[in-house]
Amino acid sequence: MTNADPMTGIERRAGREAVLRRSPFWALGRVINSERPWPWIAPVVILLLGIGLYPFIYNIRNSFREFNPMTGNVEPVGLENWRRLLQDDRLHGAFLTSAKYVLAALVIEFVLGLAIAVLLNSGPAISGLWQSLMILPMVVPPTVAAVMFRVLENPDYGALQWLLEGVGLIDKQEPLLGGTGRYAMAAVLIPEIWQWTPFFVLILLAGLKALPQDPLEAAQVDGAGAWRQFWDITLPMLRPMIAVAVLFRLVDLLKVFDYIFVLTSGGPGTRTEVLSFYAYQRSFVTIEWGYGSVLGIVILVLAIVLANVYVRVFKVAW
Amino acid sequence: MSAMKDTDAKVAIYRAIEDWRAGRISRRKMLGVLAAAGVALTSRPMLRRSAPSVSAATLQEAAATQPEEIVAFLRDVGGQFRGTTIRVVSEETPPSRAIINLKKEMFEDITGITVNWEVVPLDQVLAKVSQDAASKLGANDIYYFDQAWVGRFINDTYDPRELLDQKPDLAMPNYNIEDFLEPLVRHIAMYGDKMIGFPCDVPIFMYFYRKDIYDELGLQPATTMEEYLENARIINEAKSGEGTYGTVGQMKSGHYALECDMTAYVWSHGGSVFTADGKCALADDFAIQGVEYMRQLQQYMPTAVTTYDWGGQFTAIQQGQGGQVITWGENFPGWDDPANSKVSGLMEPAPLPANTAQRPPEECGFEEHPDLGHQGGSTYCLSRYSKNADAAWIFLQWATCSNTQTMASIIGGGASPMRQSTFDDPRVKEAAQVGVAGTTRHFPEMYNVIMNRMGTEPHLPQWPLIANDIIAVELGKLTTSDDPTGPAMVEIAKKVDEAASS
């Protein structure tokens, strides 16, 4: 008998592969068996680009157009919206208000957070319970927290107002919310600090717990006091943790909106009008979408620049 | 949880802690109760302004009384559009809430048309409608327009008079457009000779006072602005120590509500926002006098008044913080509601005090009509970009017909009538009882203000920017400072002129 099949083994394999190539599962098999990373990450990259990049590009396009209430149409305006940036006194005021807000919140939250973290790290018996409770404010949506504080700070029946009146810090004529608005900035900072100081506490506490004990024990042997140990050893070693926490909060604080919207609506006048609230006002109250887009881009650029300056100035090493 | 009262919540907190200490419940259970009670306590002030919920029995009763000719129209004509979904966007107002409550039994179940009704704050209504009008995509079929926006959107809706003429096969029998009160149509729904939609709501400034306090102090309802100010002073001196102030405003900085208060007092002192040649008149002596008057009144208000919008003002009166007030008439049924109000049965409506001076409408610009009875009316309008215009038109007619308007006025929540037939309806008159939720006992005085004392803001496309931002923010600076009124009003007038000419 002779072999009737004229095809070699190689030809048979090539034939099978050609059939497989026509199968819809062939490409999927190639991806699954691939050792290269791009087929795996490509879908996510495309998705993220779609979600992140498209609105950004749309915003840039929008910044060169403006809604015209007379015609009811969005019309091209060239660089007009960008020129307006330089002449807008209210924007400059909002910029200063944002700076005050960010600085005050960051300093207070950091100092309080560090103090509480050190206290909890010193090991009181119920520190575990406190650590759990610390998470609670952070899981409350900021808008809900703001509404809660609107009740607490109410000049007529607010518990916080009553407490501060009791210790003589404020009076009925000049309450936290209302009156001439002297304490309006404090009124919006209070929920901010209540909600986000625990963020510092948790990060710094984790850092404190992870610090090596040898340098501290050596300093003790050398006779360094508690303050000296903290200032010269603990704090420098904690620097990477501090850097991360401050950077996260800095970027977040630039976007603050909820507390302002619920508690003061930027007022009285423009006293608590921060950049993001001003951008909201332009976009959705006065329906100046183009200028609102410009302000959105400004906030984004500001966050990127500040974050980079911070990383370089403070020599943040990850 | 929504039914949980403040006392219940406090008792629940106390019991949960006691039970946990005694080992009867776990810590997890205790924290759960505390969280729920906490939410109830903190959310209550937000919920207070909401219209009361309407029982299923009331809705069924309302559906059962719907006239047969309307049911037949909805079934035969509306039924052609069975399966269609239409979209409405509006502010949370008493009539909107009432119609949302009524629509299932009285419209959707009969026609098979689904109505998706989105309720958002007023500024977001403006943003959504502007976006819709600019894109012309017809994302919403029916718009809710504040009267201040008619100039901006007049070309984005169908004139309902034309629809009634052009689509007789879709016209509701006996709809009777002439039944709408003429001043409401003229002030709220017209721009030039074009009609933007049907009037659906008229919050209008009325004068209310606490009868118990007036009686105790020997006061009479004010007939002049000076008497009103003097009454506020007397009440404040006698009662502010007990937490009841002379009056309460809606003076939240940066909020449209503040602008509404201002225009009412400017108008009642002979001023206006614009002159006939389109120039801002807010810096003239009459306007400054009006704003000075408002600042004098502010001395007799709680200090928190600079944080009150209309909701804050409503709640303050409901809590007994004001001895008298000139404000939106739609608040009254909520104050009379014994379940939620400390002043149930104590408030009384009175005729508005006479203006100190009054500028004739022909001396004002942009259809402005000065008078103390500031109206904040609104319209439901059919979008020119609607993809379901016929189904939406049928819904619009149903929502604004005499029977639906009457039902909306009496099921509770404070909806105000738009039609003569609603004011005259025996069911409406029957509901005019003292100290009950949804009372209509303020309607006769409301009718009087609509017909004789209605004040209307200017209608120009830039008005939302001027009213919601320029005046509201700049005036907010003034009312939270000791600065003199004159220079601030000059600054406001300058900015208004810039915006109006842009």
Least confidently predicted of A123-127, B145-149, B156-160: A123-127
Q: Which residue of A has its CA nearest to B242?
A: A156
SS3 content of chain B, % helix, strand, coil (to 5): 55, 15, 35
**B192 lies in the same domain as B154:** yes
* Region for residue B287 given its phi and psi (left: phi exceeds 0; alpha: psi -120 to 50; beta: otherwise): alpha
Mean pLDDT of chain B: 89
Alpha-carbon Rg for chain A, nearest whole angstrom, is 29
Least confidently predicted of A32-36, B330-334, B398-402: A32-36
Residues of A in contact with B46 (CB under 8 A): 147
**B337 backbone dihedrals φ, ψ, rounded to 5°:** -75, 110
DSSP state of B195: E
**B160 lies in the same domain as B233:** no
- The crossing angle, in degrees rounded to 10, of helices A159-166 and A142-152 is 50
Q: Is the peptide bond before A268 cis (omega within 30 degrees of 0)?
A: yes
Q: Is A267 on the interface with B (CB under 8 A)?
A: yes
Closest Cα partner for B330 from B49, B46, B121?
B49
Residue % of chain B over a pLDDT of 90? 72
| Gap from A69 CA to chain B (nearest CA, Å) | 6
Secondary structure class of A137 (helix, strand, coil): helix
Residues of A in contact with B255 (CB under 8 A): 265
Can you tell me which residue has the tokens 């006002």? A281
Q: Are A268 and B476 inside 8 Å of each other by CB?
A: yes
Q: What is the mean pLDDT of residues B112-131?
A: 91
Q: Domain A84-313 belongs to what topology?
A: MetI-like fold (1.10.3720)
The token pair that represents B219 in the structure block? 């006061």
8 Å CB contact between B378 and B147: yes
8 Å CB contact between B115 and B101: no
Nearest to B307 among A67, A174, A177 (CB): A177
Q: Are B253 and A269 inside 8 Å of each other by CB?
A: yes
Q: Are A72 and B152 inside 8 Å of each other by CB?
A: yes
The predicted pLDDT at position B83 comes to 97
Q: Is B116 on the interface with A (CB under 8 A)?
A: no
Compute the distance between CA of residue B133 and CA of residue B156 in angstroms, rounded to an integer.
6
The predicted pLDDT at position A4 comes to 53
8 Å CB contact between B167 and B393: yes
| Gap from A173 CA to chain B (nearest CA, Å) | 6
Q: Which residue of A has its CA nearest to B241?
A: A172
| Gap from A270 CA to chain B (nearest CA, Å) | 7
Q: Is B155 on the interface with A (CB under 8 A)?
A: yes
pLDDT at B6 over 70: no
8 Å CB contact between B405 and B422: yes
8 Å CB contact between B302 and B246: no
Compute the distance between CA of residue B300 and CA of residue B231 in angstroms, rounded to an integer.
10
Residue type, B444: P
Q: Which residues form the domain of B14?
A: 6-47
Q: Which of B129, B300, B307 to mutate to test the interface with A (most CBs of A within 10 A)?
A: B307
Nearest to A267 among B253, B305, B482 (CB): B253
Residues of B in contact with A286 (CB under 8 A): 464-465, 468-469
Q: What is the mean pLDDT of residues B75-90?
A: 97
8 Å CB contact between B416 and B449: no
Q: Which residue of B has its CA nearest to A182?
A: B480
The token pair that represents B466 in the structure block? 């001027």
Q: Which residue of A has its CA nearest to B149?
A: A69
pLDDT at B219 over 50: yes
Dihedral sign, Cα of residue B443, residue B445, residue B447, residue B449: negative
Q: What is the mean pLDDT of residues B11-32?
A: 65
Residues of A in contact with B133 (CB under 8 A): 72
pLDDT at B4 over 50: no
Residues of A in contact with B236 (CB under 8 A): none
CA angle B350, B352, B355 (to 5 degrees): 155
**B139 lies in the same domain as B178:** yes
The predicted pLDDT at position A184 comes to 95
Q: Which long-range contacts (CB under 8 A, 24 or more apart) does A206-213 make?
A: A206/A241, A207/A117, A207/A238, A207/A240, A207/A241, A207/A242, A208/A117, A208/A118, A208/A121, A208/A234, A208/A238, A209/A121, A211/A237, A211/A238, A212/A237
* Domain count for chain B: 3
List the beta bridge partners of residue B280.
B274
Least confidently predicted of B26-30, B190-194, B482-486: B26-30
Q: Are B126 and A285 inside 8 Å of each other by CB?
A: yes
**B240 lies in the same domain as B304:** yes
Chain-centre distance for alpha carbon B239: 29
Residues of A in contact with B464 (CB under 8 A): 69, 285-287
Q: Which residue of A has its CA nearest to B156?
A: A72
**B300 lies in the same domain as B180:** no
Q: Is B254 on the interface with A (CB under 8 A)?
A: yes
Secondary structure class of A210 (helix, strand, coil): helix
pLDDT at B29 over 80: no
Residues of A in contact with B462 (CB under 8 A): 69
| Gap from A149 CA to chain B (nearest CA, Å) | 9
Closest Cα partner for B471 from B280, B340, B191?
B280
Q: Is B130 on the interface with A (CB under 8 A)?
A: yes
The predicted pLDDT at position B48 comes to 39
Secondary structure class of B445 (helix, strand, coil): helix
Closest Cα partner for B290 from B329, B264, B325?
B264
Q: What is the mean pLDDT of residues B58-82?
A: 90
Q: Which of A287, A288, A293 to mutate to test the interface with B (most CBs of B within 10 A)?
A: A287
**B350 lies in the same domain as B492:** yes
Q: Is A151 on the interface with B (CB under 8 A)?
A: yes
The predicted pLDDT at position B229 comes to 98
Secondary structure class of B373 (helix, strand, coil): strand
Does residue B1 fall inside a structural domain?
no
Residue % of chain B over a pLDDT of 70? 88
Nearest to B304 among A147, A155, A267 (CB): A155
Q: What is the mean pLDDT of residues B430-445?
A: 90
Taking CA atoms, B13 is separated from A158, B10, B37, B58, B318, in Å, by 19, 5, 7, 34, 26
The token pair that represents A205 in the structure block? 């506490």
pLDDT band at B105 (very low <50, low <70, confident <90, very high): very high
| Residues 6 or more apart in contact with residue A295 via CB below 8 angstroms | A91, A275, A278, A279, A282, A283
Q: What is the mean pLDDT of residues B163-180?
A: 95
Secondary structure class of A171 (helix, strand, coil): strand
Can you tell me which residue has the tokens 């966050």? A303
Q: What is the mean pLDDT of residues B427-452?
A: 92
Per-residue pLDDT of chain A (318 residues; tens, 9 = 90+): 445 556 677 777 777 777 766 676 777 777 777 778 887 888 899 998 889 889 999 999 999 999 888 888 899 999 999 999 999 999 999 999 999 999 999 999 999 999 999 998 887 666 778 888 888 999 999 999 999 999 999 888 899 999 999 999 998 888 999 888 899 999 999 999 999 999 999 999 999 999 998 998 999 899 888 899 999 999 999 998 999 999 999 999 999 999 999 999 998 999 999 999 999 999 988 889 999 999 999 999 999 999 999 888 877 765
**B216 lies in the same domain as B320:** yes
Closest Cα partner for B103 from B66, B67, B137?
B66
**B209 lies in the same domain as B194:** no
Show which of residues 453-492 on chain B sit within 8 Å of chain A, judged by CB atoms: 461-462, 464-465, 468-469, 473-474, 476-477, 479-482
Max CA distance (Å), chain B: 78
Q: Which residue of B has its CA nearest to A161?
A: B304
Residues of B in contact with A284 (CB under 8 A): 123-124, 126-127
Q: Is A283 on the interface with B (CB under 8 A)?
A: yes
Beta strands per DSSP E along chain A: 65-68, 73-76
The token pair that represents A37 in the structure block? 């990373």
The predicted pLDDT at position B2 comes to 36
Residue A68: burial class (beta carbons within 10 Å; 0-12, 13-18, 19+):
middle
Q: Is A137 on the interface with B (CB under 8 A)?
A: no
Q: Which of B149, B245, B306 to mutate to test the interface with A (most CBs of A within 10 A)?
A: B306
Q: Are A147 and B474 inside 8 Å of each other by CB?
A: no
Report domain extents, chain A: 9-63, 84-313
The predicted pLDDT at position B46 comes to 40
- HSE (side-chain half, CA atoms, 13 Å) at B59: 16
The token pair that represents B248 in the structure block? 């309460």
| Gap from B24 CA to chain A (nearest CA, Å) | 21
Q: Is A179 on the interface with B (CB under 8 A)?
A: yes
| Gap from A63 CA to chain B (nearest CA, Å) | 16
Nearest to B480 among A180, A281, A285 (CB): A180
Nearest to A154 among B123, B304, B480 (CB): B304
Q: Are A179 and B306 inside 8 Å of each other by CB?
A: yes
| Residues 6 or more apart in contact with residue A15 via CB below 8 angstroms | A7
**B318 lies in the same domain as B386:** no
pLDDT band at B412 (very low <50, low <70, confident <90, very high): low
| Residues 6 or more apart in contact with residue A38 via CB below 8 angstroms | none
The predicted pLDDT at position B22 comes to 65
Q: Which long-range contacts (CB under 8 A, 24 or more apart) does B179-186 make?
A: B179/B402, B179/B419, B179/B420, B179/B421, B180/B418, B180/B419, B180/B420, B181/B418, B181/B419, B181/B420, B181/B450, B181/B451, B183/B450, B183/B451, B183/B454, B184/B377, B184/B418, B184/B450
Nearest to B252 among A69, A265, A286 (CB): A265
**B271 lies in the same domain as B388:** no
SS (H, E, C) B74-109: HHHCHHHHCCCEEEEEECCCHHHHHHHHHHHHHHHH
Can you tell me which residue has the tokens 């005085």? B445
Compute the distance between CA of residue B444 and CA of residue B432 in angstroms, rounded to an integer.
10
Q: What is the CATH number of the domain that holds B110?
A: 3.40.190.10
Closest Cα partner for B454 from B379, B352, B356?
B352
Chain-centre distance for alpha carbon B75: 32
DSSP state of A284: I
pLDDT tens per residue, range B240-278: 999 999 999 999 988 999 999 999 999 999 999 999 999
More confident residue, A218 or B19: A218
The predicted pLDDT at position B44 comes to 45
Size of interface A-B (CB pairs under 8 A): 111
Q: Are B480 and A268 inside 8 Å of each other by CB?
A: yes
The predicted pLDDT at position A37 comes to 82
The predicted pLDDT at position A318 comes to 57
Nearest to A269 among B124, B255, B473 (CB): B473
The predicted pLDDT at position B51 comes to 46
**B384 lies in the same domain as B409:** yes
**B262 lies in the same domain as B339:** yes
8 Å CB contact between B445 and B364: no
pLDDT band at B8 (very low <50, low <70, confident <90, very high): low
